[in-house]
Amino acid sequence: MAEVETSPFSTKIEYLSGFGNDFSSEAINGALPQGQNNPLICPFGLYAEQLSGTSFTAPRNLNQRSWLYRIKPSVTHEPFKPRVPGNKKLIADFNQSNCTANPTQLRWKPVDIPETPTDFIDGLQTICGAGSSYLRHGYAVHMYTANKSMDNCAFCNADGDFLLVPQKGRLWITTECGRLEVSPGEVAVVPQGFRFAVSLPDGPSRGYVAETFGTHFQLPELGPIGANGLASSRDFLVPTAWFEDRLRPNFTIVQKYGGELFTAKQDFSPFNVVAWHGNYVPYKYDLTKFCPYNTVLVDHGDPSINTVLTAPTDKPGVALLDFVIFPPRWLVAEHTFRPPYYHRNCMSEFMGLIYGGYEAKADGFLPGGASLHSCMTPHGPDTKTFEATIARGEKAEPFRITDTMAFMFESYLIPRVCSWAIESPFLDHDYYQCWTGLKSHFHKEASVTR
């Protein structure tokens, strides 16, 4: 066991450590069967249930599944029915009928916390995405605002994996494998098919969610970096077994399926797993433990050097979705424009800010806000950042970027933008003006840059 944390919800929370490991955990000694997965009679009269995150015949190094030993099996519920009310701002199949193509640089101000009672499920809304959960290929970017904990219900995403990035307020996530406490500055992944509930120990909460269809997140290859650096597998934390054994009349399972919500009633908690083992598990990661690499002589490195997690495609080096961060670090490059360079990209970039400021935007990009720079749409530092950087001149000393945590969801699929995101009162219609002040510095006399 890796770490113990204090929490207002429990005297201690215990975690297992590692990424992609084959874990095992039991809340009662002896609850895990030995020597086989599916005995005729499980210890303590438990039911054996497998949760598969990949096809049975996926290569061994890619195969993901866990065995859950529970008091009652998850199949024990009434038929699913369309949820009333639903959430019409969720999309998992992106096409011209429900969203639009928009190559303009887009930016949103932080969304207000709702005044009416709103839990995590109702507070989710899709901003953009591409592909389809039906085709098992694509992604969605959501944002959430909530002010109440989920009550007597659990959420299950049949469409894909959720990468949750809280920006305001902690999330207490109860899953079938156990519990996670996730603070701003940490992220959590709840894989496809897991039932979970989100409580809000700090009250109002706001954040971002990336969803992948058909593939799971993994650590990026390190290549010439070598064996160490970026996100270390030891710093990923997995919950330990924890269970409820009590009646829960009219408990509701809310299932997201094809972007639509369905509900099924049952009379017990889905968090009744006494023991489990496998490699298909929820997990969390503290972004402050990321070990960044950077330029030590000239030029600004490509943002891919800051990849925490990647959801790959069949094309080598091409990601369905990369999760990239811009943490505190030193900038030391000589004869170099140190902020991010002006750029047009075959990838599309959705950015968010957890806290602090972002090095390429002096104004307007606020914690809790977001921006979208789609495929081949030019972007880069605003006028203030450019002029301030040039004013420092060639003798600029090394300096440290502090008190900041920005991130990017980057994909090679071209996103469509949801109508409510385009029509949102939080859309910054003046975003383009941050570049209008850029002026020509061209002169015909040769200059020496080094």
Q: Name, in order, each residue with C-beta under 8 angstroms of 433's C-beta and a sequence gap of 6 or more.
A: none
Residue ranges at the known binding site for homogentisate:
358, 379
Q: What tokens were used for 442?
A: 């061209």
Which amino acid is it at 448?
Answer: V
How far is it, in rounded angstroms, from Cα 88 to Cα 82?
12
Tens place of pLDDT per residue across the chain (450 aa): 445 554 555 557 899 999 999 999 999 999 999 999 999 999 999 999 999 999 999 999 999 999 999 999 999 999 999 999 999 999 999 999 999 999 999 999 999 999 999 999 999 999 999 999 999 999 999 999 999 999 999 999 999 999 999 999 999 999 999 999 999 999 999 999 999 999 999 999 999 999 999 999 999 999 999 999 999 999 999 999 999 999 999 999 999 999 999 999 999 999 999 999 999 999 999 999 999 999 999 998 899 999 999 999 999 999 999 999 999 999 999 999 899 999 999 999 999 999 999 999 988 999 999 999 999 999 999 999 999 999 988 888 898 999 999 999 999 999 999 999 999 999 999 999 999 999 999 988 766 555
Residue 396, pLDDT score: 84
In 44-185, beta strands by DSSP E: 47-52, 65-70, 81-82, 99-100, 106-108, 124-132, 137-146, 153-157, 161-168, 171-175, 178-182
pLDDT 10s digits, 121-174: 999 999 999 999 999 999 999 999 999 999 999 999 999 999 999 999 999 999
Q: What is the structure's pLDDT at 113?
A: 95
- CB distance 209 to 43 below 8 Å: no
Task: Give the chain's length.
Answer: 450
**Beta-sheet pairing, 137-146 with 307-312:** unpaired
pLDDT of residue 11: 56
Residues near 52 by beta carbon (within 8 Å), at least 6 away in sequence: 64, 65, 280
* Per-residue pLDDT at 428: 97
Give the integer Cα–Cα distance in Å for 253 and 266. Answer: 8
Distance of CA 429 to CAs 13, 119, 295, 384, Å? 45, 29, 35, 19
For 57, 92, 235, 252, 388, the CA distances from 217, given in Å and listed in that order, are 19, 18, 15, 28, 38
pLDDT at residue 448 in the model:
57
- 141: left (phi > 0), else alpha (psi -120 to 50), else beta? beta
Helices first, then strands: H and E counts in the chain: 4, 30
Catalytic residue list:
300
pLDDT for the residue numbered 395? 80
Q: In what order do the strands lie in the sheet with 47-52?
A: 23-26, 273-278, 65-70, 47-52
pLDDT score at 447? 61
Is residue 31 within 8 Å of residue 275, measured between CB atoms?
yes
